[in-house]
Amino acid sequence: VVGDDEPRLVAQARLGSREAASALFRRHWPTVWQVAYAVLGSRAAADDAAQEAMISAFAALESFDEQRPLGPWLKRIAFNRAVDELRRRRAPADANGHQTDQSSPAADEASELAAGGPIAAAVARLSPERRTIIVLHYWLDCTREQIAEILDLPAGTVASRLGRALTDLRSVLEEDHVH
Amino acid sequence: MSTDFEERLRAARDTLPKPDSTVSTEAEQHALAGLPTAIGKPRRLPMPRRRRLAGVAALVAAALLVGGFAGSELASSTRAATPTPVPAFTPTVGWTMVQTSVGPPDVPPPNKPVPVAWAANLPFDAQDLGTTWPNPPLQNLPSDGIVISVAGPSEGPVNQQARIVKPPYRVEDMYFWASADAAAHALNAADSYQGEPAPNVSLYWISAPTGPDRGIGISVWMGRNDPTPAMKAAADQELARLTLPPPTATTPTNTTVPTTTTAP
């Protein structure tokens, strides 16, 4: 929810107000974290990605157009950061042995989101792309236009991907014999 | 129009996990304190006037100040080591070093201003950092240009779950954001990173704990999206010249841009 006072808070934060920056953080942090979780499906990974997203966002606050709502911008940063983390986790180790964390988020999914019931379990089993668009639209109340901005996609593409995500979700539920 | 299925899906929204309160608190403190350039502005030192008045003497004083602040190898080789109150880079040929401390003075932790040490393989002045983002040194970074900033140490709880890097710092151990982001391959979702100063500028960065209640943020901007091995090696070599304050040191609360120097 974007409050009427958000442009003022952004302006104050730019001028160095810790109180304003703190208010902005607390207003948007839960959703930013949930976007990261939607992509990564892992609480620990979402902690890192969301925190790094907020650090990055505050670092670039001066580049933000205060005439626009802050939420979609923060969500997009969180989304990008989470995708970056997803790639890092999937990347094979290099010749020097770095970057070896290829842990699957499946364990976290099973232990948390999937414990929320059959629909949540089915959402947890979707691919990150499908899961993210479902979470953004149905659980975080983002419009297609907002999703287009967050994912940097044409609105028409968002609509088609949302449709495919719903189809996949139905398929998963049918596999689980949930009707 | 929503279908019954979509309504059932919406009804399951509360199953989406929420962030842990402890993590949230730590994240807030880290976000506010870890990167002070986010919400503070570098104060301009009246360096031109001082130079005009004092000429060479000012340059000598600046060099001494750098040595004292850096606790550098150069300084320690000629006199007793002094505590290093702020991060600094040991001066070397071809690199410019600027230190900034932003925010209001006399603020207790965790909101105390966090100093930033900048190093670049191109000439620039503290005033070039300006008050807007992106600042000119980053916005106009040439293809072989490298700018490094080290913010910290921040004081206050640090997210110990964050990826930890220890000296010697290497860009390959950091997160990497290029213009063609991972998202373009994974989800076809983005082609740039937020805050990107210019399309040709990529960023290595890490926010790393250096102790139970201290952390630093390192950013390394490069003037191309596919930094060459030579550029990465040059950045690593400059990071090896980084000196961080000892754990017992206190960061200054004065808001100054104390030095701008290029090693002889």
Report the residue of chain B nearest A47, measured CA to CA: B23
Query: Average pLDDT for residues B5-29, to the nearest whole number?
Result: 88
pLDDT above 90 (res B236): yes
Asked if the ipTM is above 0.90, the reply is no
Q: Write the DSSP assignment of A126-153 as a string of letters.
A: S-HHHHHHHIIIIIS---HHHHHHHHT-
B221 strand-pairing partners: B147, B203
The answer to whether B184 and B53 are in contact (CB under 8 A) is no
Peptide bond into B153 cis (omega under 30): yes
Tell me the percentage of chain B whose pLDDT exceeds 90: 14
Lowest mean pLDDT across A3-17, B3-17, B85-99: A3-17
Cβ of B134 within 8 Å of Cβ of A63? The answer is yes
Residue B38's pLDDT is what? 35
Query: Average pLDDT for residues B36-61, to the nearest whole number?
Result: 29
pLDDT above 80 (res B66): no
A47 vs B77: which has the higher pLDDT: A47
The answer to whether A144 and A163 are in contact (CB under 8 A) is no
Query: Average pLDDT for residues A58-77, to the nearest whole number?
Result: 78
B111 at A interface, C-beta within 8 A = yes
Distance (Å, rounded) from C-alpha A3 to C-alpha A26?
A: 13
Instruction: Return the closest-CA partner of residue A83 out of A138, A37, A135.
Output: A37
B66: Cα separation from own chain's centroid: 18
Strand-pair category, B175-177 with B214-222:
unpaired
A137 vs A69: which has the higher pLDDT: A137
A16 vs B252: which has the higher pLDDT: A16
| Chain A residues with CB-CB distance to B15 below 8 A | 113, 116-117, 119-120
Instruction: Give the DSSP letter of residue B175.
Output: E
B149 strand-pairing partners: B118, B219
Residue B235's pLDDT is what? 96
Residue B102's pLDDT is what? 46
Cβ of B28 within 8 Å of Cβ of A26? The answer is yes
Cβ of B17 within 8 Å of Cβ of A34? The answer is yes
Coil, strand or helix at B24: helix
Residue B124's pLDDT is what? 83
Locate B165 and state its tokens: 């890097």
A118 vs B238: which has the higher pLDDT: B238
Distance (Å, rounded) from C-alpha A146 to C-alpha B114?
A: 35
The answer to whether B220 and B207 are in contact (CB under 8 A) is no
B98 strand-pairing partners: B118, B260
pLDDT above 60 (res A162): yes
B13 at A interface, C-beta within 8 A = yes
Mutate to test the interface with B, among A54, A55, A143 (most CBs of B within 10 A): A55
pLDDT digits (tens, 9 = 90+) for B155-192: 655 555 555 667 788 888 877 776 544 434 333 334 45
Query: Average pLDDT for residues B126-146, to the nearest whole number?
Result: 80
pLDDT above 80 (res B228): yes
